[in-house]
C-alpha cells in the first residue's frame, strides 16, 4: 500500500443488502434493497508526478492500463468518469480501501465504483448528480454482471431502503417498526453472472415453471413492502422463507447457503434466505430483537460462517 499525504480527496460508499427480489428483478419484477453501512469502501485521490494513473488496492497496485481482468469494470468506470470530467487518465493515485467482502452479494463492485466516481468528482471540485453517479457506476457493474438490473448501484448509493424496479423511478420503502437483521457470509465467492445465466437457460428449457417462480418472487416483494410498512415481523419472516424456496427452485441456492439458512432458523430466526446472486455469498435472517440477532450470529459463526453482521432496520 502506498501512503498518501494529507492532501487527498476521499469518496466513499457503503454496501447493500437485497432483502427480497434478487433475480426476479432482472425480469422486471420489484425488489427491496437496503443500504448496509456496516461495510464500506473508501477511495482516496491524490496527485502524483506520473504519466499514468496508479491504482493502489488490496488486490493490485500499479498502473491503470495493467489492471487485472477482474478489475476491468472499475478501469472502464474510471476512464469514463475522467472523460466526463474532461481530464486525462494520468497524474493521479487512487487508493481503494474496503471492508466489503468481494463477490458475496453485499455490493462490493458497485460500492467501489460509487466511491471512485464520488472521489474523482470531489477531487476536481465538480458537482455530481445522482443520474451521473448511477450511470457511471453502472458501467463497472456491466463488466461484473453482464446485464445488471442496476439494483446494486441504486442501493449502495442510497441512504434509505429502496423499492427498485427496472425502468421505474426508485421509490422509498416505509418501515413501520424496527426490524432486526443478521447477515452471514459463507466465505465463498458467489458467481452472479453464472447464476443469472442459469436462470435464463432454465427459462428457455422450462419457460412456464420458471416464469411462475419469477412471478411468485415479484409477489413476495409486494407483500414484503406491506409487511415492512405495517411492522409485521411474522409476515416478513414467512416471506423471506418463501423467497428462499423459490430461489432454491430456480437453482441459485446451494448446500452452504441452505446450511446457514437452517442454522439461522434453528437458532430462532423468523425467516432466512440467501441474499444477492447466490451460489456462495451471504444469507440474511430476521430476528425478533437485538439479543436474538446476536445469538443467531453466534450460532452462524459456530456453524462456520466466515463473518456475521447484525443491525436494526429503521426508517
Ligand atoms: O451483485 P449481487 O450478487 O448482489 O446480485 C445482484 C442481484 C441480481 O438480481 C442477482 C442480479 C441483478 O443484476 O439484479
Q: What is the mean pLDDT of residues 147-171?
A: 95
Q: Which residues approach ligand 1 with their CB closer than 6 A? A: 18, 22-23, 25-26, 105, 145, 148-149, 151-152, 190, 192, 196, 276-277
Q: How many CB atoms lie within 10 A of CB 97?
A: 16
CA dist 54 → 3, 116, 206 (Å)? 13, 13, 48
Counting residues of the chain whose pLDDT is more than 70, the rounded percentage is 97
Cα–Cα distance, 85 to 76 (Å, whole number): 14
Residue 3 pLDDT level (bands cut at 50, 70, 90): low
Cα–Cα distance, 43 to 114 (Å, whole number): 9
Left, alpha or beta for 68 (phi > 0: left; psi -120 to 50: alpha)? beta
Cα–Cα distance, 102 to 112 (Å, whole number): 10
Whether the per-residue pLDDT at 6 is higher than 80: the answer is no
List pLDDT tens digits, range 17-62: 999 999 999 999 999 999 999 999 999 999 988 888 999 999 899 9
Q: Which set of grid coordinates corresponds to residue 99? A: 471492508
Cα–Cα distance, 131 to 154 (Å, whole number): 10
Spacing, Cα 18 to ligand 1 middle (Å):
8
User: Distance between the two ends of the chain, CA-based, in angstroms?
Assistant: 38
Q: What atom in ligand 1 is closest to the CA of residue 145?
A: 13
Whether the per-residue pLDDT at 160 is higher than 90: the answer is yes
Spacing, Cα 6 to ligand 1 middle (Å):
37
Q: What is the mean pLDDT of residues 197-211?
A: 97
List pLDDT tens digits, range 271-315: 999 999 999 999 999 999 999 999 999 999 999 999 999 999 997
Cα–Cα distance, 137 to 78 (Å, whole number): 9
CA dist 264 → 160, 220, 293, 309 (Å)? 26, 20, 9, 13
Whether the per-residue pLDDT at 2 is higher than 80: the answer is no
- Provide the pairing of β-strand 53-56 with 92-98: parallel
What pLDDT is recorded for position 23?
Answer: 98
Residue 226 pLDDT level (bands cut at 50, 70, 90): very high
Q: Which domains does the chain have, with CATH numbers?
A: 9-164 (3.30.230.10), 175-313 (3.30.70.890)
Cα–Cα distance, 91 to 50 (Å, whole number): 5
Cα–Cα distance, 252 to 111 (Å, whole number): 23
Cα–Cα distance, 128 to 190 (Å, whole number): 32
What pLDDT is recorded for position 140?
Answer: 83
What pLDDT is recorded for position 5?
Answer: 60
List pLDDT tens digits, range 71-108: 899 999 999 999 999 999 999 999 999 999 999 999 99
Q: What is the mean pLDDT of residues 139-167?
A: 90
Spacing, Cα 66 to ligand 1 middle (Å):
27
Residue 4 pLDDT level (bands cut at 50, 70, 90): low
Cα–Cα distance, 211 to 32 (Å, whole number): 20
Amino acid at each position: 500500500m502506498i501512503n498518501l499525504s494529507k492532501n487527498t480527496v476521499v469518496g466513499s460508499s457503503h454496501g447493500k443488502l437485497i432483502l427480497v427480489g434478487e433475480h426476479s428483478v432482472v425480469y422486471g419484477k420489484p425488489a427491496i434493497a437496503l443500504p448496509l453501512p456496516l461495510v464500506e469502501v473508501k477511495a482516496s485521490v491524490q496527485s502524483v508526478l506520473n504519466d499514468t494513473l496508479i491504482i493502489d488496492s488490496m488486490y493490485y497496485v500499479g498502473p491503470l492500463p495493467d489492471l487485472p481482468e477482474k478489475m476491468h469494470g472499475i478501469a472502464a468506470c474510471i476512464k469514463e468518469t475522467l472523460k466526463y470530467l474532461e481530464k486525462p487518465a494520468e497524474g493521479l493515485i487512487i487508493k481503494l480501501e474496503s471492508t466489503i467482502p468481494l463477490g458475496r452479494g453485499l455490493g462490493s463492485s458497485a460500492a467501489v465504483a460509487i466511491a471512485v466516481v464520488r472521489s474523482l468528482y470531489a477531487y476536481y471540485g465538480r458537482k455530481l448528480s445522482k443520474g451521473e453517479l448511477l450511470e457511471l457506476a453502472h458501467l463497472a457493474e456491466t463488466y461484473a454482471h453482464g446485464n445488471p438490473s442496476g439494483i446494486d448501484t441504486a442501493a449502495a448509493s442510497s441512504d434509505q431502503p429502496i423499492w427498485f424496479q427496472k425502468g421505474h423511478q426508485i421509490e422509498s420503502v416505509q418501515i413501520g417498526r424496527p426490524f432486526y437483521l443478521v447477515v452471514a457470509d459463507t466465505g465463498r465467492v458467489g458467481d452472479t453472472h453464472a447464476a443469472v445465466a442459469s436462470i435464463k437457460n432454465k427459462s428457455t428449457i422450462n419457460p412456464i415453471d420458471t416464469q411462475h417462480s419469477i412471478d411468485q418472487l415479484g409477489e413476495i416483494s409486494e407483500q414484503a413492502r406491506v409487511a415492512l410498512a405495517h411492522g409485521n415481523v411474522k409476515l416478513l419472516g414467512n416471506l423471506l422463507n418463501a423467497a428462499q424456496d423459490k430461489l432454491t427452485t430456480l437453482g441459485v441456492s446451494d448446500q452452504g447457503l441452505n446450511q446457514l439458512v437452517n442454522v439461522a432458523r434453528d437458532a430462532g430466526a423468523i425467516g432466512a434466505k440467501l441474499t444477492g446472486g447466490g451460489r456462495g455469498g451471504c444469507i440474511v435472517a430476521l430476528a425478533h430483537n437485538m439479543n436474538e440477532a446476536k445469538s443467531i450470529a453466534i450460532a452462524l459463526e459456530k456453524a462456520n460462517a466466515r463473518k456475521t453482521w447484525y443491525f436494526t432496520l429503521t426508517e
